A and B are shown apart, each in its own frame.
Chain A
Amino acid sequence: MADRLFAGALLIVAIAYTYIAFAILKAPFQYDPLGPESWPQILGCVAIPCILYVLWRPDVASFDLEMPTWARVGALFVLLMAYAWVFQPLGFILSTLIFCFLLSLMLGAKPLKAGLFGIVTGVAGYFVCTRLLELNLPAGKLFVGLL
């Protein structure tokens, strides 16, 4: 079932991909006989039979995950997306601090330790990366004046 779900989703993407390759991609003019469309056309024509085969003969029945595990993975995904979302506006220090605190808490750390871990990672990470390694990390709008 899991295989079929995934393959079904892929099939839709692959059909759209192939349709675009045949119907839309075109160069005003080109110097090679293949043009921008041939290669995607070939790829689409290989992908679709492969996907159909997986639909016909799936070999993985289920994800084999308990509900709590699903919840954990879902929470992790949300955390990561949120981290990406606040990374620039909040700045590296604050966003990392919050992210590390929440994730380590979720993974079973004690609140105090998780908080300490978040602070150390955020602050030390920022200064090691920006000052020692000269990497470019967002300071965040709050800290622009301070750092």
Chain B
Amino acid sequence: MDAVFSGLASGFATALDPFNLMLVLVGCFAGTLIGALPGIGPINGVAILLPIAYGLGFKPESAIILLAGIYYGAEYGGRISSILLNVPGDAGAVMTTLDGNPMARKGEAGKALSLSAVASFVGGTFAVILMTLFGPLLAAYAVTFSPSDYVALMVFAFASLASLVGSNPVKTLLGAVIGLMLASIGIDANTGVARYTFGIPDILAGIDFLVVVIGLFGMAELIHLVEQQARGTLKTLEIDKSFVTMADLARTKWTILRSSCIGFFIGILPGTGASVASAVAYGTEKRVQNNPKSFGEGDIRGLAAPEAANNAAAGGAMVPMLTLGIPGSGTTAILLGALLLFNVTPGPLMFQQRPEIAWGLIASMYIGNIALLVINLPLVGLFARLLTIPQQYLTPLIAVLAFIGVYSIVSNPHDLYMITLLGLFGWIMRKLGFSLAPVILGFVLGSLFENNLRRALSISAGDWTILLQSWNSIVLYVLTAIVVIVPIWYGRRVAARNARSEDESPKAPA
């Protein structure tokens, strides 16, 4: 432990150097802006700014600190367009739209933005603290998570997400299956066989997650706005001056803590990232709450959960990268590449060979988290004002932002048609009472489930008992059972009590 503290102290000495401190701030600010663009998340933010950081000829630790600031900033920024425009800023911010946007529409944009900033801060800081204290230990555990354990994790995720069932369970199931089907397009990850590609090169590697998200959420929202405008039911919102209160924080403190744990745990596993983390956190939170009815209508707990989780996951993903040299996500793969570019080899020896970089980076994460909170809270009012832009200008802007986001990442007009068509499809589904969240979740979790199941079976040469052979799996299956059974049992008890006191109609758990 002493080594940790002395290392951290030297790290802070590096990170608090005025020049580096300025870089953290600049990185966080630029990252927030880039992340706020729909579609452009941490991966692309870091990739785009990497050559600039390199070209400026900074010392390695300074450049890496700048990039980490951008990484964190983009993760923060993703929530802004989710909340204000109902267009997810990046993959990890999909769940944020579910309760964040209804809050903004109720006139609580300021509260939503500030609360999510605090939740992000807690999630991010929680992850960095755990990483500092137990980094190598956690990484050693994370790699023991085998394909069969991922299968169990996905079963758990599906079970906790069953709480998302809307008014029509069949439509919810159908929505999820549509998401799963969309995910099955492209080259099969095990046998290399192309599925449902019909010789179109653009979908040979599958449909990009981003395209699905921007299409189904962003463009569908756009069509929805125009429809409302044509009916004359759309009003430009007043400037709202709401802000997070101590009471809100008190109400969400356990939510934030639970979600930070879930997010961090899923984040450290190589192969799952912020999108899975926020989905599981949201589903679990809805499951464990006694009164989940307001979820999806602007519940602050439904906003705090995914935000705490996706930032905790972003921090968690750094653990295997720094301690083992294994990138757990696309973004950490780029940070790994950046380190290599500066002749720093991440991995077990980095803490001995280049302590100034390893610890400087960790210290800069503490500072970055604080900086983001400090930058973001005063900006809440400014961002919230976005909504007061008259509708005839705001609507075209959403389209332009979505096009910028997609084009700058894929450099290919094909995906612009894709988002438009998916947008139309999403809008029709919305009109018909389908919820879009199950589609997205089916899309994210489906291929993880299928690929890991088949991986597990190729390891065991077809023996299905491999699925139950590790403690990780067994614990997850037990948790799954709890997540399924407890709300039913609890619902029965509430129903019984209500019947006794002849209260209003019993609420059946979803």
**Which residues does A use to contact B, with CB under 8 Å?**
2-3, 6, 10, 17, 20, 25-36, 39-40, 43, 46-47, 50-51, 53-54, 59-60, 63, 65-66, 68-69, 72-73, 76-77, 80-81, 83-85, 87-88, 92, 96, 99-100, 103-104, 107-109, 114, 117, 121, 125, 129, 133-138
Contact = CB atoms under 8 A, between A and B. Distances in A.
Contact of A80 (B49, B52, B181, B399): B399
A65 B433 contact: no
A29 B136 CA distance: 40
Contact of A129 (B195, B408, B413, B433): B408
B391 A107 contact: yes
B473 interface: no
A30 B170 contact: no
B177 A137 contact: no
B240 interface: no
Interface in B184-236: 184, 188, 190-193, 195-196, 219, 222-223, 226-227, 229-231
Interface residues of chain A: helix, strand, loop or mixed (majority): helix
B128 to A, nearest CB: 27
A60 B432 CA distance: 6
A36 B49 CA distance: 39
Contacts of A76: 222-223, 226
Interface of B: 30, 33-34, 40, 48-49, 51-52, 168, 170-171, 173-174, 177-178, 180-181, 184, 188, 190-193, 195-196, 219, 222-223, 226-227, 229-231, 390-393, 395-397, 399-400, 403-404, 407-408, 411, 413, 416-417, 420, 423-424, 427-429, 431-433, 450, 453-455, 457-458, 462
Nearest to A45: B177
B229 A107 contact: yes
B43 to A, nearest CB: 13
Nearest to A81: B420
B27 to A, nearest CB: 13
Contact of A43 (B180, B191, B395, B455): B180
User: Closest 7 interchain pairs by CB?
Assistant: A84-B416, A107-B392, A27-B191, A135-B408, A72-B230, A50-B174, A32-B454
B180 A100 contact: no
20 contacts: A6-B432, A10-B178, A31-B191, A36-B188, A36-B190, A36-B191, A47-B174, A73-B223, A73-B226, A76-B223, A77-B223, A80-B219, A80-B420, A96-B400, A109-B392, A109-B393, A117-B396, A134-B52, A136-B408, A137-B404
